[in-house]
A and B are shown apart, each in its own frame.
Chain A
């Protein structure tokens, strides 16, 4: 395979990026190392200082107790002492939570679920989250479903004390590409990810394992955030395909993504977000005319833009809100990739079987809050279907959501799916989700 100057430049730039990210993490953990060094140098002077500090602390405690005793007391003896007296988590256990995502499929012509079930536990997600030490936070999400065994959905370490508004993560996370891909599937306002995301990234969204760095800034007076990642690979391996070398053998074969978020408040009640993102990397693609397991690496990229408008009047915010969201993505494929075959396999008669044209897709989604606990929404999907030579597949869906509380959700959805080839089908879907454990922040 020939290497172009641009290729070389990319290849030399990528290790620099990786070293940069590691350097950032090293800076983050420097205070920890410095602290360890100083604690080794324990001296009599230090011990004397510590003793005086303890005595001073004791005097301060006695004075504080005297102050509390002389202060006017609250009227009710049932009142508790100020809350600092009783730590809520003395054993420093991590926050443990679980989310159940249950699906029913009452579609008239049979289940449309991956495994053909009418009712299934699509996923149970168990999360462990806590500060690791003064410098890092840890988040681990396990996923369990009817179809798969336990999997690590996300597991990442976040440096919390970096300067200049930087955030760096190491681990596995939802890739910051597009808008809805950054949302857990059970937190969506629809039952599934939009079709364009399912086709380009997979049914469960796109995750990656690697380094994540983001910076917030506001040079023009509004919120902007740039997020870049370098991950082990773009997407999951294609089942049943073997390439001569792993797609990520060269650093240029890793997955690289970038996302620029722009956010504006239009008023106290309404705001918009306009963002741009892209990801590139090498993926296995099939080779036709020989061993069906034979694959070859080819570059694939996805670029896109997304727009979200939100309205929630502050005073009636419990009862009224509206979201309009749209996203367009384009998948860019190599037009004429070189076949990389194992030695001894003659190239005669073998053809590249992956996509050689670009595909576009998008969706528009809206949701209106009717009552304190009830919402209605709808989505229109359209994407160029690779399996139908790029002809458009469309889907229209409508949803009703009911939230008995912040911790449970019931949803019913109807969808009319019109494939590029074949007849349209109707889907009737039910969903129930529930959350156990500590109160989590509401997704924005």
Chain B
């Protein structure tokens, strides 16, 4: 009788102890992917299809440097299989807090689920000498806004295909087929951009931040100045005065900016130079209708060509 009661108590105690942890042990059919940006999210969805579930931390209309490390994001990460991020310190202001908070061994540096997409990218603007913060909010490892070049979109898709196949080998052929289909769609879209690219090539423009460097490399637009005097530093009156002169001399007719910066300042410069302010989304979902990566690139190229 005593033994029976003891067994009951032990079983009850074990059940109570295990209850909070039960959720963690349920088998998951799909890979859970969390990405830092909507662009990585969209490419991950294109490659993973219905074999993954994906969420993203940042929104397309939000400055990815300044995302808040909200505890609700920790919940997204704690059960994830993959954490994919842009890298090159783009997420340094919030990612460490989320990863430490998530306490998910699968997302530790060095694990297959820790996917730094920048490692497959040929990076621009890598510091060639010592840099310090007198030069603004510089990224010594290089410019992190690389997804705005379709070649890098292809590389990211290949990275996701390899990562998903490694973590979920039974669906490797699906990931391979999806990645190829994504690349084919991108190739097809790229062929339709040629006339617009010809219009853009060599045209002088001003950009707000260095986030358009890869886009410029791809399209051939010539960035003759930045609204920011140094990366991350808001425009000062003296800098704007100098920029207005530069724009007049170079004949820059367009100021390209992201939706999350203060348009009034750009409008002021435009009013002094006769230029047009073009608010371009740097990421998927940045403006209405931009629901995927190929649309993002297509829209950016078309709008810029139309503005020049």
Contacts and interface: CB of A to CB of B under 8 A. Distances in A.
B94 A441 contact: yes
Contacts of B20: 164, 215, 217, 219
A158 B95 CA distance: 18
Interface string A414-428: 000000000000000
Contacts of A73: 122
A83 B142 contact: yes
A223 B74 contact: yes
Contacts of B123: 79-80, 82-83
A16 to B, nearest CB: 14
B88 interface: yes
A69 B119 CA distance: 17
Contact of B93 (A163, A167, A314, A441): A441
Interface in A316-337: 316-319
B92 A441 contact: yes
B103 A166 contact: yes
A444 B66 contact: no
B108 interface: yes
A83 B118 contact: yes
Contact of B72 (A72, A271, A315): A271
A82 B94 contact: no
Interface string A67-108: 000001111101111111000100000000000000000000
A319 B262 contact: yes
A441 B260 contact: no
A79 B142 CA distance: 10
A161 interface: yes
Nearest to B105: A161
Interface string B201-233: 000000000000000011000000000000011
A268 B20 CA distance: 28
A88 B103 contact: no
A261 interface: yes
Contacts of A405: 133, 137, 232-233
A81 B122 contact: yes
Nearest to A444: B69
A442 interface: yes
Nearest to A437: B133
A84 B121 CA distance: 9
A318 B133 contact: no
A187 interface: no
A83 B71 contact: no
Contacts, number: 137
B69 A441 contact: yes
B61 A314 contact: yes
A88 B141 contact: yes
Interface in B76-120: 78, 87-89, 92-97, 100-101, 103, 105, 108, 116, 118-120
A162 interface: yes
A216 B133 contact: no
A142 interface: no
Contacts of A137: 100
A354 B290 CA distance: 67
Contact of A442 (B21, B94, B124, B126): B94
Interface residues of A, number: 56
Contacts of B59: 268, 314
A318 B122 contact: no
A3 interface: no
A185 interface: no
B141 A318 contact: no
Contacts of A310: 68
Given A317-B62, A318-B63, A373-B234, A444 B97 contact: yes
B234 A442 contact: no
B151 interface: yes
Contact of A83 (B69, B97, B119, B234): B119
Contact of A80 (B105, B120, B126): B126
A139 to B, nearest CB: 10
A12 B300 CA distance: 68
Interface in B218-276: 218, 232-234, 259-262
B21 A78 contact: no
A427 B301 CA distance: 57
Interface string A256-294: 000001010100100101000000000000000000000
A345 interface: no
A407 interface: yes
Contacts of A202: none
A310 B70 CA distance: 10
B24 interface: yes
Interface string A217-232: 1110011010000000
B194 to A, nearest CB: 15
A407 B142 contact: no
A132 to B, nearest CB: 13
Nearest to B218: A75
Task: Point out which of A72, A261, A441 has the most chain B C-beta atoms below 10 A from its C-beta.
Answer: A441
Contacts of A217: 20
Contact of B119 (A84, A315, A319): A84
Contacts of B118: 82-83
B217 A317 contact: no
Which 5 residue pairs of A and B lie closest in terms of their CB atoms, listed nearest first? A223-B71, A79-B122, A263-B71, A80-B126, A84-B119
Given A80-B126, A442-B66, 5 more contacts: A80-B122, A165-B78, A165-B103, A441-B93, A442-B93
16 contacts: A75-B217, A79-B123, A83-B87, A83-B142, A164-B20, A215-B20, A216-B74, A217-B20, A223-B71, A273-B71, A312-B68, A317-B62, A318-B261, A441-B69, A442-B66, A444-B69
Interface of B: 20-21, 24, 59, 61-63, 66, 68-72, 74-75, 78, 87-89, 92-97, 100-101, 103, 105, 108, 116, 118-124, 126, 133, 137, 140-142, 151, 217-218, 232-234, 259-262
